[in-house]
Amino acid sequence: MNILEVRGLEKSYPDPESDKNLKAVDGISFTLEEVQIYGILGPNGAGKTTTLEMIEGLTDIDKGYAAVNGINVADNPYAVKEIIGVQLQSNEYFDSLSLKELLILFGKLYQNHVDPKDLLNKVDLLEKINSKPEELSGGQKQRFSIACALVNEPKVLFLDEPTTGLDPQAKHNLWELIKDLNLSGMTIILTTHNMEEAENLCHKVAIMDKGRILIEGNPKDLIHKYDQEDGNLENVFLSLTGKELRD
């Protein structure tokens, strides 16, 4: 069963150097099955984050259709927000509050009674329950941001470049957390320009460039079709776009 459906999605922004509009997302379509990890891949500026923001109801949709669990995002953005969890690229918290207090606060925003110990245990931060965000490492902050995204027990979790800037160990720890959440029954959609990350996590990927989806499929199938010699997803991207991927 499809839990997410996107058809002909478009978003444009004014070009500061001309009187024309720039298309950040140019008519993309895809579906996401329940309990699947779906990756949207591409370089900076490909339209990945804008795509997620439209589906999450954070940015208006110029044209097209998006639905989460059968709920039309444009018609019912608040109903969609009640069933999704969103982990953003950057996070700012009330520095005077502990992790425990922040999770209770975020739960109240959803009128949810949360168990901070349970949430922090899921992201391997239980020992930091009385710490403040400023006392966390980069990887710990990323895991805490995911804990915050879980306070409403979402059906779909959105992760926007979740491992950007992390050291290798922190990155792999976060990968294991994402796998565990998926195994628990959670559907996950993430953006990344890290091809290794996509190969390790995703059941299905869409490669984007200039606001369009160039190709979509299982990572292993795409590698078999486009890069039998070396066998990696980055070479598939290079063969399709001629661009290098940079952090």
Residue 1: the pLDDT is 80
pLDDT confidence of residue 55: 97
Residues of the chain with pLDDT under 50: 245-247
The pLDDT of residue 247: 44
Closest to 69 measured CA to CA, from 60, 79, 78: 79
Q: Indicate the SS3 state at residue 12.
A: strand
The pLDDT value recorded for residue 146 is 93
pTM given for the model: 0.90
User: Of 177, 156, 143, 176, which is closest to residue 31 (Cα–Cα)?
Assistant: 156
Q: Tokens 């292993």 belong to which residue? A: 220
| CA neighbor of 196 nearest in space, from 46, 48, 39 | 39
Cβ proximity of 161 and 192 under 8 Å: yes
Residue 243 confidence (pLDDT): 57
Q: Which pLDDT does position 121 carry in this prediction?
A: 93
Express each pLDDT in 126-151 by its tens digit: 999 999 988 999 889 989 999 999 99
87, β-bridge pairs: 159
Query: Which residues on adjacent β-strands are paired with residue 84?
Result: 156
Q: What is the pLDDT of residue 241?
A: 73
Amino acid at 129: I
Q: What is each CA distance from 24 to 53, 74, 130, 153, in whole angstroms?
A: 12, 18, 41, 31
The predicted pLDDT at position 189 comes to: 97
Q: Residue 113 has which token pair?
A: 């009674």
Residue with tokens 């989460």: 68
Where does residue 20 rank: exposed (0-12), middle (13-18), buried (19+ CB within 10 A)?
exposed
Q: Within 10 Å of residue 159's Cβ, how many Cβ atoms? A: 27
All structural domains of the chain: 1-83+193-247 (3.40.50.300)
Give the pLDDT score at 88: 67
Element (H, E) at 168: helix 168-183
* pLDDT, position 15: 80
Q: Considering only CA atoms, give the Rg of the chain.
A: 18
